[in-house]
Amino acid sequence: MPQTKPGALIDIDPERLLDFLLRFATTQTSVGVQTSRIVVNTTRVAHAYGYELTIMMFQRNITMTLMPATSDNTEASHISRAQHPVTGMIRHRHLPLNFFLNAELSRLSWYTYDHHPSLEELEDRFEAIVTSPPVNRWLILFLISLANMAFCFLFGGDLGSGLCVFAGTLCGFFVRQELNARHVYPYLVICVSAFVASFVVGLGAKLGLEANPEIALGTSVLYLIPGVPFINGMMDLLDGFMLNGISRLMTAVMIVISITVGLSCTLMMLNLSLL
Instruction: Please write the tens of the pLDDT for every residue from 32-70.
Output: 888 999 999 999 999 999 899 999 888 788 999 998 876
71 pLDDT more than 90: no
pTM of the model: 0.82
Give 116-175 pLDDT, tens digit per residue.
999 999 999 999 998 888 888 999 999 999 999 999 999 998 899 999 999 999 999 999
**Residue 212 pLDDT class (50, 70, 90 cuts):** confident
Which is higher by pLDDT, 268 or 70?
A: 268
Distance, CA of 196 to CA of 169 (rounded, Å) = 8
Distance, CA of 244 to CA of 274 (rounded, Å) = 34
For the chain, what are the domain ranges? 14-130, 137-270
